[in-house]
A and B are shown apart, each in its own frame.
Chain A
Amino acid sequence: MANWDWQVFCKNTIDGEVIPRCLGSGGDITYLDWMLSAWGWTLSVALLALVVALLLGSLMGILRTVPHKGLVFLGNAWTELFRNIPLLVQVFLWYHVLPALVPVLKGVPSFVLVVFALGFFTSARIAEQVKAGIQSLPKGQRYAGLAMGFTLPQTYRYVILPMAFRIVIPPLTSESMNIIKNSSVAFAVSIAELTMFAMQAQEETSRGIEIYLAVSGLYFISAFSINRIALFIEQRVQVPGMIGGSK
């Protein structure tokens, strides 16, 4: 029914001429070159934001379970702040509003801002999962650790966290895949990632169906790779008798 035109990816982005080898050279850029570069931006935003999210999310999740009211409040406040505001609004807050209040931020590239926006947003969700993971452990483990003479940080380091993190790997996998998909909001602050490529290239070439199919494929490959890596880690670290460790 549809008449496909996959050659669109071999077209030069300046004059629309088809380039024989499909990849431009000497300053010429084809839509394929552009899409691969956009994929790179998508992965860069997503992976850096994931690092931010895992570090901050774990920290905030742990704080929410310690026997200190102030730290628990900090962790809770962080989580509620960042998970109750829509992601796109948060991105705009970082890009338009914060620099108006703190002029120094004007010099920060939008790439960095969007990594923080996406990382902080996701950290709230990870904090919730880490907290749930820690709370799912029997209280006795914590007491056992302390009774052994461990300090509280040592109890977390050697007793609680090794178990809790194993439990939360499956929901963390979902978050890691979400961050790839959520990175599409970066187009709103002029990051040349896949969603922006798709919107722009379909306007220029009028071949939206081919372009959206290709972009969907790349998103799928990216998120699915994360899924497979996480599954590999999950299998490597599983403990017999624990959730998913009943081999």
Chain B
Amino acid sequence: MNKTFALALALAAATGAAHAEDTLKKIKDSGSVTMGVRESSGALSYTLGDGKYVGYHVEICQHVLADVQKQLGLAKLEIKYQPVTSQNRIPLVQNGTVDIECGSTTNNLTRQKDVAFAVTTFVEEVRIAVKANSGITSIGQLNGKNVATTTGTTSVQTLRKHERATGVDFKEVFGKDHADSFLLLESGRADAFVMDGAILAGNIAKSKSPADYKLVGEVLSVEPIAIMMRKDDPAFKKAVDDSIKAMMKSGEIAKTWHKWFEQPIPPANTKVGMPPNDNTKAAWANPNDKPMEDYAKK
């Protein structure tokens, strides 16, 4: 009895220690790794159903994990896909359920207290989508208008800050998710939809008549999007960073971008039609893991 108890305790201690810090050791010992993915984060990370996950970030992560496998000399590495949501992604990375999160997570200072980020792979710009015939070309023209955005996104905060700073007074309407927010714009309940450029481009591409909508105006906010890992594991972060930096240097990351954002993608074979913006190109040229706050200072 006593022996079993001691054994259980030792086991608990061992597993506890294993997932506390050393991700590389955990991957080597178990021969498997858990990738956090999103059900629908535009072309960054989405599901084709049947447990299949694809997208720009998913492909980058698969590349990174292939490099990790080589580095560890593993004959076989099993990748387990774990869908995560905005609400649970950080706790799941912290508690070790997810080893590497490949969704659409903004790297900011608050989150850096809880988790670590790889070098930025995509710099998202918050933009305004309007109906092409609305005549709206900038945020200043949204005074007194209904502006849609999605509950649970940083764009809501961006909009609030903008309202405060510029004195433009718009009425906010909130969609439950991006599809709902787009429906608000489509049905005329909102005059504009403020959101990450990639999400807007994706929704417009999938809409009934893409030509009826356009992205206008200034960039309202800039957010570095990065792959997320557990904090305080420099060896794993280095492995991930090195792999991504090599992709940036060889130009492979640009090819991956082209594949997901400028070519028809499954399941419907539609194009997002979004070339990389200047901030993203700059992040590829000079790899860094600066948080969102550093971009705002410029």
- A-side residues, CB < 8 A to B, are 13-16, 27, 96, 99-100, 106, 110, 187-188, 190, 192, 196, 199-200, 202-206, 208
Contact = CB atoms under 8 A, between A and B. Distances in A.
Contact of B161 (A14, A106, A199, A203): A14
Contacts of B86: 203
Nearest to B164: A14
A136 B114 CA distance: 59
Contacts, number: 51
B110 interface: yes
Contacts of B87: 199, 202, 208
A27 B188 CA distance: 30
B153 A203 contact: yes
Interface of A is mostly: helix
A190 B154 CA distance: 16
A187 B176 contact: yes
B255 interface: no
Nearest to A110: B173
Contacts of B183: 96
B160 A206 contact: no
B151 A187 contact: yes
B107 to A, nearest CB: 12
Nearest to B171: A190
**Which of under 10, 10 to 19, 20 to 34, or 35 or more describes the interface residues of B?**
20 to 34
B111 A199 contact: no
Given A187-B176, A190-B172, A206-B114, A196 B154 contact: no
Given A13-B160, A27-B164, A187-B174, 11 more contacts: A187-B176, A190-B172, A190-B173, A190-B174, A190-B175, A199-B151, A203-B86, A203-B154, A204-B156, A205-B110, A206-B90
A96 B173 CA distance: 13
A206 B189 CA distance: 30
Across the A-B interface, give the 4 residue pairs with the lowest CB-CB distance, nearest first: A190-B174, A199-B152, A188-B176, A190-B173
A206 B176 contact: no
A200 B156 contact: yes
A14 B166 CA distance: 13
A106 B151 CA distance: 22
A206 B109 CA distance: 10
A136 to B, nearest CB: 40
B157 interface: yes
Interface in B176-214: 176, 180, 183, 187-189
Contacts of B90: 206
Interface string B140-151: 000000000001
A202 B87 CA distance: 8
Nearest to B86: A203
Contacts of B173: 110, 190
A14 B159 CA distance: 10
A140 B87 CA distance: 58
B176 A14 contact: no
Name the residue among A15, A200, A205 with the largest chain B CB count within 10 angstroms: A200
Contacts of A188: 176, 180
B111 A206 contact: yes
A100 to B, nearest CB: 7
Nearest to A88: B176
Contacts of A208: 87, 91
5 contacts: A13-B157, A15-B161, A200-B152, A203-B152, A203-B154
A228 to B, nearest CB: 32
A196 B151 contact: yes
A72 to B, nearest CB: 38
Nearest to A207: B110
Nearest to B111: A206
